[in-house]
Structure 1
């Protein structure tokens, strides 16, 4: 779809001629499985601003799916990568070097586990989840797991067994890992159970499963996103995570928090679970950890991870010096002020979105913490029917207006800009979003 360019941002019809040429080249040699949302072909970026190959400027409020925590090409991260690359590009994780040990020390210092922590360094979120599942099964000797509907944990076979945000992710790949039982994620805006406390209702549902079909003595772990991402940017009701922790303790089940998307300062705290003061046994991290370089981590209580014997788990690229250097610089920046900026600017962003909500009845709910924000769109039928087509139209119109966004759930626009986004950039994005909503509602 070509549209009239915004003179403040966009110089060509989108996609421009250079972008069209690259998309055509890509179609001949790259897998069609990538879920490209709109024809953005990036040239370069600085902070929250990015430019495509035709010179069009955009505000990036999706940050590579919450990966670019420190913005694009942060000079401190770039220098750390350059310095590390000049020394050596790789040595396998069978050996030692300063960047890997330093990262382990930093992760132990910020891990919200309530006791000493150890880390296994890997390359991605899905690999971190795989490692967490293997660790849980290894130390408990139990075969079963519980996951949550709407969750996204990755696309390799173990993590895919838990992923249930869209059926297309599992279609064609059955059977996946046996022994995984899914339960609802509590959603007060769209309650599945009677009563006001959806968190308590989900806990009761799990207890019912324990009585009827899932022996709790066979459950190794419960895997959950403390704030659910792909399922709709959902925030659990207060008390739910604490109740889940108590349920796990009652039955000797390990609690795994998947903070691949919600961690590393995204919600205004280092990890989302800290908003409720609930400590997991194992935590997974990736995405924002490396500011764009591929890195992940399984962070576990030392008493748990220390049970792994030599050779029980490993990889070739884990602890790569260049990616560890990026992660070390990222953590220093997040702890040094970006996490606080996420909290402060996030509050401003939420307030501006709620102002917008007063003008647009199609905005059913604005929710989130820090710079993890969801805006759920609904139809005008008085039934909170998800406005799926409108959501897609808003994301597309925003692209043509110079604002990069992504959706999640059935009809939620999610906002996950870099953690160093400014108030001025948020206000600019709000103006672009307002125009995009007007155009999408008008069918433009």
Structure 2
């Protein structure tokens, strides 16, 4: 039988991970990199050498099935040939341009493509080099459009680690060392978590929306908040899917009060939840939307997209743009994004995300629903979370169990991540091209590891 191409293979471990080559690189990394960046231990990490489709090969020759898509970036699969070819062709023609002075021609193409694919009347974009930078653009745009300095964001939300993005993320573990330098420009409301709610899903949404209105009217906040910033599905916060009434309720509040609704679709956009954008599940159109990750499938590139009315609050450039960067509209990022959008459309990968994600959620729910340490299995499309607890009665988070599953899965050739505000969620975001065989084997590994507790 002809062997499967790299990208469609099942795990193959030749050196128990992390192997000697990975361990040697880890020792060298520890010597040269700031100690906070990469987590190093005796059983973590492995160093990647090559990736394609849903496969990763490390420096020791081990082949893994990747259920992370490298932080949900490789939606079209690692190193999709059409994306690689587009980047190579663009690099041969023009490696770097002058984004806000003499722009590369391909910049106009991606701006047009984003306007065509974005929901509703979102039309104008500011391009960025990362999701966090796109969030910075959204925060600046909100101030210009509303004249109000503050935003309402949500507990459990994650929007990046630059100063502006960090100030609207509610993660104390990230922000506390820099609290003295962070602007106090955010008010935080509870994000409705159906599993953690004591009053049912829709009741939880109603309570969350009531709290939003109370916070908007609170002394010190009234009249100072111009926008609501929210993830349609919380990503790093634990793959939390809100009740169906929640996002439409935020849209209503914004319309009634003249606020901007800003959606962070960096994680959820471009097919991750089985729709092009997660907001489409609830027929909600924002005023501003930030996107990144799977937009290119692997290059640092992002965008903030808004309506004409909102984006035209930026003054016309007189030769000095008040928000730009050296690599704005980088030609390689533009080319990769155009190719990624074409691949997602032509190969119907958004539809595949919905189909395979539904299978994944059902398989895990059925296998784990009665396990005493599994509190919840949830998700949309190829964005699935398994919340582990000490017991289902107390629902006390069990992050140590997630760590055990991540390491054991790695040993068996499956790449997964931990997440959630308590670190107790197994977060799965496979490439949309993952084969049925790869997904079945990987889920069997996860289920068997959890059942072995």
- Under a length normalisation based on structure 2, what TM-score does the superposition of the two structures give? 0.92
- Rate the CA distance shift 1:302–1:234 in 2: closer, same or farther, 3 A: same
Aligned residue in 1 for 2:18: 15
- Is the Cα contact below 8 Å between 2:288 and 2:307 reproduced in 1? yes
Q: CA separation in 1, counterparts of 2:200 and 2:269?
A: 32
Cα distance, 1:158 vs structure 2: 0.4
Aligned residue in 2 for 1:382: 393
Aligned residue in 2 for 1:201: 207
1:119 aligned to 2:125? yes
Cα distance, 1:195 vs structure 2: 8.6
Q: CA separation in 2, counterparts of 1:8 and 1:35?
A: 24
Cα distance, 1:430 vs structure 2: 1.3
- Under a length normalisation based on structure 1, what TM-score does the superposition of the two structures give? 0.94
In structure 2, runs of 5+ residues without a counterpart are 1-9
Report 1:136-175 matches (<5 A). Answer: 136-164=142-170, 166-175=171-180
Cα distance, 1:210 vs structure 2: 2.8
Q: CA separation in 2, counterparts of 1:192 and 1:298?
A: 36
Q: CA separation in 2, counterparts of 1:315 and 1:282?
A: 20
Cα distance, 1:26 vs structure 2: 0.8
- Is the Cα contact below 8 Å between 1:145 and 1:221 reproduced in 2? yes
Partner of 1:172, secondary structure, is helix
Partner of 2:379, secondary structure, is strand
Q: Which moved more, 1:211-220 or 1:233-242?
A: 211-220
Cα distance, 1:197 vs structure 2: 1.0
Aligned residue in 2 for 1:312: 322
Report 1:249-268 matches (<5 A). Answer: 249-268=255-274
Indicate which of 353, 362, 381 corresponds to 2:373.
362
Q: CA separation in 1, counterparts of 2:414 and 2:153?
A: 34
Residues 273-305 of structure 1: CA deviation (Å, up to 9, x unaligned): 110001110000111111110001001112211
Partner of 1:373, secondary structure, is strand
Partner of 1:50, secondary structure, is strand
Q: CA separation in 1, counterparts of 2:388 and 2:222?
A: 38
- Is the Cα contact below 8 Å between 1:348 and 1:423 reproduced in 2? no
Residues 209-236 of structure 1: CA deviation (Å, up to 9, x unaligned): 2333254432121110010111111011
Indicate which of 29, 32, 50 corresponds to 1:29.
32
Aligned residue in 2 for 1:353: 364
In structure 1, runs of 5+ residues without a counterpart are 1-6
Q: Which moved more, 1:8-17 or 1:337-346?
A: 8-17
Q: CA separation in 2, counterparts of 1:404 and 1:180?
A: 35
Aligned residue in 2 for 1:107: 114
Residues 90-119 of structure 1: CA deviation (Å, up to 9, x unaligned): 01212233321111111111111x225111
1:408 aligned to 2:428? no
- Is the Cα contact below 8 Å between 1:216 and 1:251 reproduced in 2? no
- Rate the CA distance shift 1:275–1:30 in 2: closer, same or farther, 3 A: same
- Is the Cα contact below 8 Å between 1:145 and 1:179 reproduced in 2? yes
- Rate the CA distance shift 1:266–1:189 in 2: closer, same or farther, 3 A: same
Residues 106-142 of structure 1: CA deviation (Å, up to 9, x unaligned): 1111111x22511111100000000000001011111
Q: CA separation in 2, counterparts of 1:382 and 1:304?
A: 47
Aligned residue in 2 for 1:433: 446
1:86 aligned to 2:86? no
Cα distance, 1:383 vs structure 2: 2.1
Q: CA separation in 2, counterparts of 1:17 and 1:318?
A: 40
- Rate the CA distance shift 1:389–1:428 in 2: closer, same or farther, 3 A: same
Cα distance, 1:381 vs structure 2: 5.5
Indicate which of 221, 230, 240 corresponds to 2:227.
221
Aligned residue in 2 for 1:272: 278
Q: CA separation in 2, counterparts of 1:8 and 1:329?
A: 28
1:321 aligned to 2:331? yes
- Rate the CA distance shift 1:97–1:393 in 2: closer, same or farther, 3 A: same
Partner of 2:95, secondary structure, is coil
Q: CA separation in 2, counterparts of 1:116 and 1:286?
A: 16
- Rate the CA distance shift 1:249–1:18 in 2: closer, same or farther, 3 A: same
Aligned residue in 1 for 2:67: 61
- Rate the CA distance shift 1:200–1:347 in 2: closer, same or farther, 3 A: same
Partner of 2:227, secondary structure, is strand
